[in-house]
Structure 1
Amino acid sequence: MNEPRRARPEEAAALRDLVRAAYAEWVPTVGREPMPMTDDYAARIAADQAWVVEEAGRLVGALILEDTKDGLLLDNIAVAPEARGRGLGGALMAFTEAEARRRGHARVWLYTNEMMTTNIARYLRLGFTETHREEQAGFRRVFMERRLSPPGQPLP
């Protein structure tokens, strides 16, 4: 499996297409396109927030990571449907935690739609805890965090 790398400006359309394919299954559940499907990936790349995994010349995984005062925000994690079940999502999460530590953050946080119950369960299994729920932009969101310990230290 290839390591995540920064997305390049010419990959904005491919990144958008990857995310749209990854989130398409959620449209019937949510009742409309989830926010990641409508994000501006050229702007994300320009802001140095987009990471991708490429296999055989195709993007198969993506992360949108934002530095915030509250920790590293995992704004989006996406795996192409054809690349699922091979551990790519777990590798992307491990990369996110390592990147958070590298940037000096003690916390990774995220939010997901409360109707995406399988995602919520997955994040709980990965050691995230729910912090709160609120409505934003017409979406009911579940906010979660994972506290990080320094390298070599047990989690707090």
Structure 2
Amino acid sequence: MTSHTGLDLVLRRAVAAEYAAIGELTVAAYHADGFLVGDEGYAATLRDVAGRDREAEVYVAVDGAAEAIQPDESGAVLGAVTVCSADSSYAELACQGELEVRMLAVAPEARGRGVGGRLMGQVVSLARARGMTRIVLCSQDRMRTAHRLYERFGFTRLPARDWSIGEMRLLSFSLELGERA
């Protein structure tokens, strides 16, 4: 799978050997954009990939060239995303028939190379294959780069599901997929 940037990516479920690297990558991505300032409690949540993968599903984008040499090794992870259904303890917004996106992160050194877009494309494919009617997610109001990615995929704001944690405002977005088959 080669993107328009020439980056060869493999998208797949994460494996246990990658959990620590995924956790650190996710924390690094959030720190790089200033989204974890003073919130080390959430950093611990981001690092708990094993717990996330038990309660939801974690997918990775890995460097295809490195994957061909050493499959399922953490050194090649360039990005990750968690998805869950309404019955998961990780669901914040999802209702029945919806797939929720959580903790999308791209390694700071891999940004601008299509990794986030490829991961979101994987999420859309998963949701369609499972007969979901909608994909939902929430995002800090300051995460404007992420918002542009979601909008490119056709996500629209879902203000009725916006919420806050203390001073942090979380905006909700949705992508309508149509009726279940």
Report the TM range for the smaller structure's normalisation.
0.7 to 0.9
Matched, 1:45 2:53: yes
Residue of structure 1 equivalent to 2:132? 105
Residue of structure 1 equivalent to 2:117? 90
Q: Runs of 5+ in structure 1 lacking a partner? A: 151-156
Query: Is this contact kept in 2: 1:101–1:148, CA < 8 A?
Result: yes
Matched, 1:140 2:169: yes
- Aligned equivalents of 1:116 and 1:35: distance in 2? 19
Task: Write the mapping of 1:111-126 to structure 2, written as runs, cut at 5 A.
Answer: 111-126=138-153
Matched, 1:74 2:101: yes
The DSSP-based 3-state class of the residue aligned with 1:65 is strand
Q: 1:128 to 1:136 in 2, by over 3 A?
A: same
**TM superposition shift of 1:10:** 2.5
The DSSP-based 3-state class of the residue aligned with 2:175 is strand
- Over the matched positions of the two proteins, sequence identity in percent amounts to 32
Residue of structure 2 equivalent to 1:2? 9
* Structure 2 counterpart of 1:5, one-letter code: R
Count of residue pairs the alignment pairs up: 149
User: TM-score, with normalisation over the residues of structure 1?
Assistant: 0.83
- Aligned equivalents of 2:173 and 2:40: distance in 1? 18
Query: Is this contact kept in 2: 1:64–1:75, CA < 8 A?
Result: yes
Matched, 1:24 2:68: no
User: TM-score, with normalisation over the residues of structure 2?
Assistant: 0.72
**TM superposition shift of 1:82:** 1.4
Q: Runs of 5+ in structure 2 lacking a partner? A: 1-7, 67-74, 87-95
**TM superposition shift of 1:31:** 4.1
